[in-house]
Amino acid sequence: MIIKRDIMFTPANTTRHLHIHLPESYSTGHQLYPVMYFFDGHNLFDDSEATFGKSWGLKDFLKRWSKEMIIVGIECGHKGNERLKEYCPYTFRGKFWGGTLKGIGFETLQWVVSELKPVIDRDYRTWPHREATGIAGSSMGGLMALCGAVCFNDWFSKAACVSSTISPCMAPLRRDIHKADIQEDTRIYLSFGTEEAFHPHPTDPMQSRTALQNLKVQEELREKGVMTSLYCQVGGGHNEASWEKQVPRFMDFLWM
């Protein structure tokens, strides 16, 4: 069952759409469920709603997966560069960002934990504790999931950081990892595709700039006691069709 509802998004003083998946057993029982929050919620379940006509196929995956949980898909703004701002926790500089992009990503994450999560825990039968709460996203949403697990670790014990946009913010991201108090039961999945990697190596995909940056993030997370999984998707691109293939991999790792 997919529920659509709007919620006030206070960082931008407007509303945002939610795409909420409830397990098939939800309407017939009284049990509580773990929750996973996903960015770009419109791209998760149905191809007809996805930005580029291809979703992550989460609805079909959840039908055949052995575990049951609630998925909360958070839809971004679609006007201008709203998505970039909402999903950017740092300041990005360069031509690609139109000069300087000063995001409100940390405000978005604060909104998730202080406003959105209490609504979900109030209105649905959830296990509200951090051990039963995860966060996920791709591209800028992957960066947000990573920052969520690192900087809001009292709320999230699991994160799927798929094709994360970490290259423009390695210095502040590493700074936040170093100073964060991360609990040792935290699990973080990192990934990149060989077809999206910056400065690819002619023979070794783990020597591209993208790979080396993800390896550095993994190393520093492991130094904090985090259990990580770094996946190099051979032939993987920066698109939903590639990310759909990773869903079983990261869900099994995070919720084993």
| pLDDT tens figures, 148-204 | 999 999 999 999 999 999 999 999 999 999 999 999 999 999 999 999 998 888 788
DSSP reduced 3-state for 174: helix
Q: How much is the pLDDT for 91?
A: 86
Q: Are 20 and 73 in contact (CB under 8 A)?
A: yes
Domains and CATH numbers, the chain: 2-254 (3.40.50.1820)
Report the chain's mean pLDDT, rounded to a whole number: 95
Question: What's the pTM value of the predicted model, to 2 decimals?
Answer: 0.96
Q: Are 42 and 17 in contact (CB under 8 A)?
A: yes
Which of these, 9, 16, 12, lies nearest to 40 by C-alpha position?
Answer: 16
Q: How much is the pLDDT for 132?
A: 98
d(CA 135, CA 152): 10
Q: Are 225 and 185 in contact (CB under 8 A)?
A: no
Please say if the pLDDT value at position 88 is more than 80: yes
Q: Are 6 and 18 in contact (CB under 8 A)?
A: yes
Q: Are 205 and 232 in contact (CB under 8 A)?
A: yes
Please say if the pLDDT value at position 99 is more than 80: no
- Tokens representing 184 are 């040792």
DSSP 33: B
Q: How much is the pLDDT for 101?
A: 79
Q: How much is the pLDDT for 198?
A: 85
Q: How much is the pLDDT for 141?
A: 98
d(CA 92, CA 98): 10
Strands 99-102, 91-94: pairing kind: antiparallel
